[in-house]
Amino acid sequence: MADVDQAKQAARERVWALLERENAVPPGVHGRIPSFFGAREAADRLAELPEWKTARVIKAVPDTAQEPVRARALREGKLVYMAVPKLAEALPFYLLDPATLSVAPEEAAVRHTAARVGRQVDVDAMPPVDLIVCGSVAVNRRGVRLGKGAGYSDIEVALLQEAGLIGPRTTIVTTVHALQVVDDELPETEHDFSVDVIVTPDAVTRCGEPRRPRGLLWDDLPAEKIAAIPVLAARRRSVR
């Protein structure tokens, strides 16, 4: 596992350095999901896809790069479930319902505003999810992706999988800069999920056979991470 983690981090560092060198992101990208220039155009391109048009329930990450996606979804009347940063609350998702929002969709899509105007809910209170939007540091054309290394997106997908809220018809998409799409083989572990579609400001790539975790892999979760994420701690107690 140490070798895999090192290989993943090396790939991240290469992409972060490339994005900065090519002025594709604001300064300070290292250690983050890149807030790339062209994120709004990528959101517009995503909105052209049939999977987007038919989706009614979207689960999105709270990263700035996907803020235009969240805003677009709310403008179109879709329910958006946004993960609480670091899943640090007992109710790990914010429900943003455009029918009841007290602010404009563009404001509600901002992470800090969503925390104020959204209603926190548990996984058990969520409906089935049609589309998952994740951020990435790097992704290849087979759909193998690397996040920033904290593992929260993997946990979110595993939670939804265990709850029966995602299935074969659920599409997972990532919006990224073209420089984040690499030709390299990226390392994977059993708890990683793959993406079905990669959307950049200029192109759409459909990936190969999807790979989903079967659920939470407790042996891969350090005790300190379980303790820091209330929804994990509660589930761990229930399965003992």
- In angstroms, rounded to a whole number, what is the distance separating the alpha carbons of residues 237 and 92? 17
Would you tell me how many other CB atoms lie within 10 Å of the CB of residue 43?
A: 24
Question: pLDDT (tens digit, 9 = 90+) per residue, 49-93?
Answer: 999 999 999 999 999 999 999 999 999 999 999 999 899 999 999
How much of the chain, in percent, has pLDDT values that exceed 70? Answer: 99
Across the chain, what does the average pLDDT equal? 94
Label residue 2 left, alpha or beta by phi (over 0 means left) and psi (-120 to 50 means alpha): alpha
Beta-sheet pairing, 119-121 with 93-96: antiparallel
| pTM of structure | 0.95
Confidence class of residue 240 from pLDDT cuts 50, 70 and 90?
low
Mean pLDDT, residues 186-199 taken together: 92
Return the higher-pLDDT residue of 237 and 224. Answer: 224
Task: Kindly list the structural domains of the chain, giving each domain's residue range(s) and its CATH number in brackets, ordered by start.
Answer: 2-239 (3.40.50.10420)
